[in-house]
Amino acid sequence: MTNDRAVAEIGIVLYPGAQLGMIHGMSDLFWIAGELSEAHGGERLRVSHWERGDDGFRRSFDTMPGAGSCPAVLVVPGSLSKVPSPQETEPYARWLLDRHAQGATLGSVCGGAFILAATGLLAGRPATTHWMFGEPFQRRFPDVKLDTDKMIVEDGDIITAGGLMAWTDLGLRLVDRFLGPSVMLETAQYLLVDPVGREQRHYSTCAPQLTHGDEAILKVQHWLQAKGGRDVSVTAMAEHAGMEERTFLRRFRGATGMKPTEYCQQLRVGKARELLEFSKRPVDRIAWEVGYEDAGAFRKVFQKRVGLTPGDYRRRFGTAAAA
């Protein structure tokens, strides 16, 4: 029997010209994942579609109508015909920016990255979109670190996916995040989607707790994400939150479940994993890039958190080495 409990709500944003295949495909993928999760005694994902009307944005479809949650993730699909113009993106970008400020993780597929980038949240951060849109995207958003070679870029509170069918990669990534790797693999097998390589990137990034409701701490988390957790003292974090240091430490731990230093360490190790997987840079250079002046200390921290040395991790998961 289907229960009415959801571990998280994933909202899909509809707009004129949005690709219906992505919208309904992702909705089906999350429904299937929920069925498989329930079979193991787990929870489901609540799936909703959001449309803009005269009175703002509202749900036009909801698998759990009446439930009181807000979306933990909002995904902007791509378009079959053309990318949205700046005028078309503006009302959606404003709304997404507000939802992000309330703790929602934002995602996009294909040309949906144009709407996501219009929020300004991608400035200085890595992202991807369909390779055909690379040049126009870079012209419109030159401050985004665009990498169209990647199928998916997961950067904590922002997730972008590449081509038209990359919604399967994004969908499986979200299933992995909320329902776990076993349900993700079962979902991929049910849909006959090859999951090889998809689970790697899940473990290469930090999936922080952003829906705790503490706006001051959320502001610090967004700031730390943008800085990659580098060169930030607890004093500076407390000042950014507008709090006395002791109060900040207590509230940060209460909201995120970890100390600020542990949180920054997790961000830095997550970035190091990504560099080990997708680049051939020496380990010492990666250590420096993620904020460790002592490469030996970096190796110890990495092995403690990941269970593998940086070299072993690269041999096991590095796509550059495989190529």
The DSSP bridge partners found for residue 319 are none
The per-residue pLDDT for 80 is: 81
The per-residue pLDDT for 158 is: 96
Residue 157 to residues 160, 210, 254, Cα–Cα distance (Å): 10, 8, 19
Q: How far apart (Å, rounded) are the C-alpha atoms in residues 158 and 227?
A: 14
Per-residue pLDDT in tens (0 to 9) along the chain, 323 residues: 455 678 899 999 999 999 999 999 999 999 999 999 999 888 999 999 999 999 999 999 999 998 777 899 999 999 987 889 999 999 999 999 999 999 999 999 999 999 999 999 999 999 999 988 998 999 999 999 999 878 899 998 999 998 888 999 999 999 989 998 889 889 998 998 876 444 323 334 466 778 888 999 999 999 998 888 898 999 999 999 999 999 999 999 999 988 999 999 989 998 898 898 888 999 999 999 999 999 999 999 998 888 889 998 888 777 654 44
> What length does the chain have?
323
Helices marked H in the chain? 20-39, 86-101, 112-117, 134-140, 167-179, 181-191, 198-202, 215-227, 234-241, 245-256, 260-278, 283-289, 295-306, 310-317, 319-322
The per-residue pLDDT for 207 is: 65
Q: How far apart (Å, rounded) are the C-alpha atoms in residues 82 and 115?
A: 12
The per-residue pLDDT for 198 is: 41
From the number of C-beta atoms within 10 Å of its C-beta (0-12, 13-18, 19+), residue 317 rates as buried
User: Which contacts qualify for 23-28: CB closer than 8 Å, 24 or more apart?
Assistant: 23/49, 23/77, 25/167, 25/168, 25/171, 26/75, 26/77, 26/167, 26/170, 26/171, 27/61
Q: What secondary structure letter does DSSP report for 11?
A: E
The per-residue pLDDT for 242 is: 96
Q: How far apart (Å, rounded) are the C-alpha atoms in residues 17 and 61?
A: 18
Q: What token pair was written down for 190?
A: 């049910």
The DSSP bridge partners found for residue 153 are 160
Q: How far apart (Å, rounded) are the C-alpha atoms in residues 123 and 280?
A: 25
Geometric angle at alpha carbon 173, from 171 and 179, rounded to 5°? 95
The per-residue pLDDT for 150 is: 85
